[in-house]
Structure 1
Amino acid sequence: MLSSDELALLEAIRESGSLSRAAARLGKAPSTISHAARQLEGRFDALLFDRRRYRLQLTPAGQLLAQEAARLTLDVARLTQRVKQVAGGWEDRLRIVSDEIIEFDTLLPVVRSFQALGSGVSLRFGHEVLAGTWEALREGRADLVIGATNEPPAIPKLRWHELGVMEWVFAVSPRHPLAKVAEPLERETIAAHCAIVVADSSRRVDARGYGVLGGQATLAVATMRAKILAQRDGLGVGWLPRARVAALLKRGELLEKRTADPREPNTLYAAWSGEHEGRALKWWVEQIRQPRLAERLVRGIDSFA
């Protein structure tokens, strides 16, 4: 590892092409710079400076060292900034995992506001589905989860906030056989048709799913948007967030069907660990507690409008 003085010496000689100019730039005597240059060559046991020409040049070995020195200088500066950042109460990074049911578009204004703070905290976003969202928090892969469903599980020092309630609609394509079946649809009638589901991302064996009846065939997709498209195309049936398919229902591209066993609304949660609450996490929690943002997160954006 080069010292800061050695890094500065290499940069000064590389940019000035002269020991005297490098000395002036560094505020040192030329003899001191010359001695330091020879010491650096002795340390690496390599010829780093070509002294045969009027203009002092770096040898290929010297060029490599100078390039790496520049990179190291930048790394040291970044490290210094990160140390000051953490010492000031900000995290080095904040990992935010949203349930796939939350559309990232709704978080963009919050991300923009956070970046305007100039905190230096790196944000890392990911998404999970159903039990996988809580699991990310439990296993330390997330500092904050947004849009988790079902009751908060038993996690040490877990803290949470209710975002709101998401309403569901059982919807089918006008071309699907269930479109012409009399309402309310019975369980046996629904079970005879393929259910479109968003696959639970939990790594555990007890991964779960919503709206699937015993023995019912399923088509698992990765996102809620894919589920909506599959149902619009008549590939299967299932429950969809009412607000996100309002336009498709209005245009008749999806039909709402009453069922004998209606689905209860889901409460969505934001959750985090109270063990390590830095300034970035506290800021995000404060934003998420705002009723207007919580409502926008729960309703989502009707991208089919």
Structure 2
Amino acid sequence: MHLRNRDLNLLVALDTLLKEESVTRAAQALHLSQSAMSHALARLREMFGDPILVRGPRGMQPTPRAEQLRDQVARTLRDVESVFANGPFDPATTTHTFYVGTIDYVELTLWLPLVERVRRTAPGVRILVRPITLDKYQEDLTEGRVDMVIGFIRKPPAQAHKRLLFSEDYACVTRAGLLQTGEPLTLDRYLAAGHIQVSPSATFTGVPDLALAKLHLRRNIVMAIPRYFSATDIAAHSDLILTVQSRIARRFADSLPIRIFPPPFALPELKLSMLWLARTHRDPAQQWLRELIADVSRDI
């Protein structure tokens, strides 16, 4: 197969169709007529020997083959854009799409001030956020599904560039009336209570359990749940204790009936970092976003 026999503009059409999952919206995004977009889809179907988009119960849906192509096509177009990029990156006029892998913690602490800054300085920018886990984030980076990852990553790969954003410690969250006013959360009370654990990877072991194990102690985890809000809401309305990052506890202090206590045993400091690979290291758009994230992090 020779590239000269292929219309590479069809990759732009394919990328937009997979993002919008609608011929009408894809046509609008590319400033084409609906008939031109339908013609492009017909050519894509012929090229790949696959329907690409099929009608489902909630509109058009990508086929399994199209899902396989989604990340590869997006990555290819980003690489092509970087080839033709020249001159300084202008956030005020760019329509760049960034792909960032993050943990739930980042969504609750960093994204609101970041998106407000982006809307002021780069109104055409879009950010697609993908959830990551510690066991798969390297694959997301190397295969180009994300441009960078942000998380509490203790042992980053040797080939990755890393930038520390800020440090974090722990707090214990209980419902407001679990302990009497002025009563401390002692280690005995902590160990006697039931606990809820935030666990995106669906395990019953977290940092507090590793710290307790060094003291030959163990807590009783009643539930592990992947989201911070759900865990904090349950702690606010039950007798379960949640041990969580301090900024998360403070994030919900005004909206939920909770009390916040220092942990009754030593826990290690966490470091939120940003990681990226050589592929995006010198890209002006990526450099701009990394500096913006670092700047917002300093305010946090």
Deviation at 1:269, TM superposition (A): 0.7
Match of 1:85 among 57, 60, 81: 81
Q: Does 2:103 correspond to 1:107?
A: no
Q: Which amino acid aligns with 1:185?
A: T
Q: Does 2:263 correspond to 1:266?
A: no
The correspondence of residues 46-195 of structure 1 with structure 2, limited to 5 A, is 67=35, 71-72=39-40, 85-89=81-85, 94-102=98-106, 103=108, 104-112=111-119, 115-116=122-123, 123-128=127-132, 136-137=140-141, 140-146=144-150, 148-153=151-156, 155-176=157-178, 183=184, 185-186=186-187, 189-195=189-195
Q: Distance in 2 between matches of 1:117 and 1:173?
A: 43
TM-score in terms of structure 1 length? 0.56
Aligned residues: 221
Q: 1:6-26 deviations in whole A, cap 9, x for unaligned?
A: xxxxxxxxxxxxxxxxxxxxx
Which residue is 1:211 aligned to?
208
SS in 1 for 2:276: strand
Do the aligned partners of residues 259 and 83 (structure 1) sit closer, same or farther apart at CA in structure 2, a change above 3 Å counting?
Answer: closer
SS in 1 for 2:193: coil
Do the aligned partners of residues 295 and 232 (structure 1) sit closer, same or farther apart at CA in structure 2, a change above 3 Å counting?
Answer: farther
Q: Distance in 1 between matches of 2:132 and 2:146?
A: 11
Which residue is 2:243 aligned to?
239
Q: Distance in 2 between matches of 1:137 and 1:184?
A: 41
Q: Which amino acid aligns with 1:72?
A: A
Which residue is 1:222 aligned to?
226
Deviation at 1:96, TM superposition (A): 0.3
Q: Is the 8 Å Cα contact of residues 169 and 239 (structure 1) preserved in structure 2? A: yes
Q: Which amino acid aligns with 2:172?
A: F
Q: Is the 8 Å Cα contact of residues 130 and 209 (structure 1) preserved in structure 2? A: no
Which residue is 1:282 aligned to?
287
SS in 1 for 2:207: coil
Which residue is 2:67 aligned to?
none
In structure 1, stretches of 5+ residues that fail to align are 5-65, 300-305
Q: Which amino acid aligns with 1:87?
A: V
Deviation at 1:181, TM superposition (A): 10
In structure 2, stretches of 5+ residues that fail to align are 8-33, 45-73, 87-94, 213-217
RMSD between superposed Cα atoms in Å: 4.4
Which residue is 1:46 aligned to?
none
Which residue is 2:31 aligned to?
none
